[in-house]
Amino acid sequence: MRDVVYQKCIHPGCGATAELTATAFACPRCGGLVDVAYDWDRVPVPASLRHFETKWADRFHPLNFSGVWRFRELLPFAPEPSFVTIGEGQTLCQPADAVARYVGLHPGRLWLQYEGMNPSGSFKDNGMCAAFTHARLTGATRAACASTGNTSASLAIYCAATQLMRGIIFIGSGKISYGKLSQALEHGVRTIQIHGDFDDALRRVREVSRQLGIYLVNSVNPFRLEGQKTIMLRVLEALRWQLPDWVVVPGGNLGNVSSFAKAFQELFELGLIPRKPRLAVIHSTGADTFFQLYEKWGLRWRQGQYDAAAIDAYYRELDASGRKPDTLASAIEIHRPVNLPKALRAMAWCHGVVRAVPDAEILDAKARIGAGGLGCEPASAASVAGLRQLVREGVIHPEEQVVCVLTGHVLKDPDETVAYHTTDRAVFDAKLGRRGIPSVAFANHAVVVPNDLDAIIHAIEQNA
Ligand code: F0G
């Protein structure tokens, strides 16, 4: 009889399986991406999502405190004593009327899911606790990732807090914000900086992990995506189990969107939700592979029979033109998203759309989000900038209920925030001006005054 939990090729035409404890994270037959698959008939599933409310009364139990593991019945890939938690997932999902006004939605229709409250300051911890749990099942002692900064910060904090594995991170040269780099250094992972960008680093870390038998925690690891499903479960929880019409999420390596769609597909198939929300993935125009392929080239999932030759042709074109990803939203500065086929499937499952927004709009959206009371990093604000565009286009109606995922904390990248609000032209130009952003809409300039009481009082009254 088949195992209750196993890994399975995402391509329906292949469908080869691998054991739960396999660590290649690739289909043993065709080399494609794999899912964590469950025989749901043989695992106990709650009759209703309201079941999870009972966990709230028992928050002294670390697994019920965790915003990931309190939903463990929906990611039942390991026995309970193996679960790794450092208290991840204590996040907020709240209405944001000021931001709703900015994007053109009616009051009460926009909610922001704020993942900056995780232990390492980004959504990555949802997946890292699940990857560590799987790694423990495999007996791994070392873990590695390539990163634009947040995965490495998360890996570092889980290594330090649990002492279960030693961490090794691969980063591109000059491609990581200081907030994130400082986390990796502070928590003590071995940091390998290579000449190249994230795509180069990811290729290398996959080679190195295979050769040295190091456990890989990039989002090609399907166990990470199991943990990230709970971001959507917490959204539903905050909405009292009502479904939003749309979930809008920034796209980098396309792990989140793949994970969210899997969550909704499973809930739907288990009869726990009556329909699925639509998904919108937002890129920066400086790193917009999925937008180009899905919206411009018309690439579709087609039950796994997607046009792989078109993807190759697109990458050949990128290489031939020497175009490198280039965006101020450094977390999503990625040209070769590893989860692209899963993201295509996500679009099919959840009737999705993809958009790309310019950096200037991302930064303006970020300032509006900040003025509304939640601090996020640029990549996160792509979701709100993209939503604004979709409302303008009439794809999203002002009455629809929308959740934007804010993936990382504002302190991850203070340099960009300061450059946005600065009065110092040199500071502005060094970050924004040199990328062709001549001015910004919502700068909150500091007022420079002499050290003089009257001048200080005058400055305060003028700005009141
Ligand atoms: N937002 C933030 C803050 C991120 O750090 C990332 C990815 C994304 C969005 C994109 O998510 O890959 O699931 O589409 N950061 C990775 C990293 C690549 O290395 O930290 P995705």
The answer on pLDDT for 231 being more than 90 is yes
The answer on pLDDT for 174 being more than 80 is no
From the CA of 145, give the closest atom in ligand 1. Answer: 19
Tokens of 251: 């796209």
The answer on pLDDT for 48 being more than 80 is yes
Confidence of residue 464 (pLDDT cuts 50, 70, 90): low
Residue nearest to atom 15 of ligand 1 (CA): 331
Instruction: Tell me the mean pLDDT in the region 76-97.
Output: 97
Fold that domain 92-120+225-432 belongs to in CATH: Rossmann fold (3.40.50)
Confidence of residue 113 (pLDDT cuts 50, 70, 90): very high
On average, the pLDDT of the chain sits at 96
Instruction: Tell me the mean pLDDT in the region 80-92.
Output: 97
CA distance 255 to 261: 10
The best mutation among 253, 376, 413 to test binding of ligand 1, ranked by most ligand atoms within 8 Å of the C-beta, falls on 253
Distance 229 CA to ligand 1 centre (A): 15
Instruction: Tell me the mean pLDDT in the region 169-177.
Output: 88
Instruction: Tell me the mean pLDDT in the region 323-345.
Output: 96
Pocket lining for ligand 1, CB < 6 angstroms: 122, 147-151, 219, 250-256, 331-332, 377, 379-380, 407-408
Predicted pLDDT at 173: 85
CA distance 49 to 67: 14
Residue nearest to atom 10 of ligand 1 (CA): 252
Instruction: Tell me the mean pLDDT in the region 74-99.
Output: 97
pLDDT digits 0-9 by tens, 22-42: 999 999 999 999 999 999 999
Instruction: Tell me the mean pLDDT in the region 50-67.
Output: 95
Confidence of residue 463 (pLDDT cuts 50, 70, 90): low
Instruction: Tell me the mean pLDDT in the region 358-372.
Output: 98
Predicted pLDDT at 298: 98
